Amino acid sequence: MPAIGDVIELTVDILDRKLSAGRQGTIVHCHNSEVYEVEFTNDAGETLDFLALRPEQFIVVWRAETQGWVPLAEQAADLITHLPEESAQAVLDFARFLSYRGKPRQTMEVRLDRSDL
């Protein structure tokens, strides 16, 4: 569950605020478990915008409580959770492809005897 001080990354474009997916911000207030106030700043630390976001619009990439980055596998799982089923399946298929890439193909020998036929 996101908390105050966590760094988030947008997963959607917010065109009317000129914020693109990938932009990072910091949670500064939790209205409830459904809405979080996020501050976006420039490189000089000056506030660019405050925006109330729902959890499906971002992922947490750094946790204030642990003072550490969220593992990539957890970030990916969070992203997949909000995808339509067909898109989530495509991501899983691609992850499988990547996991097999560069590995020697393993084949399994299957022996059948006449009772299996």
Residues 27 and 46 in one domain: yes
Residue 2 · residue 61 · CB < 8 Å: no
Residue 94 binned pLDDT confidence (cut-offs 50, 70, 90): very high
Residue 113 included in any domain: no
CATH code for the domain of 41: 2.30.30.40
Find the helix packing angle between 72-81 and 85-100, rounded to 10°: 150
Domain that holds residue 79: 71-102
Distance CA 101, CA 94 (A): 10
Q: Summarize pLDDT for 4-48 with one digit per residue, the tens.
A: 999 999 999 999 999 999 999 999 999 987 999 999 999 999 999
Cα(26)–Cα(62) distance, rounded to whole angstroms?
9
Same domain, 75 and 35: no
**5 in the same domain as 58:** yes
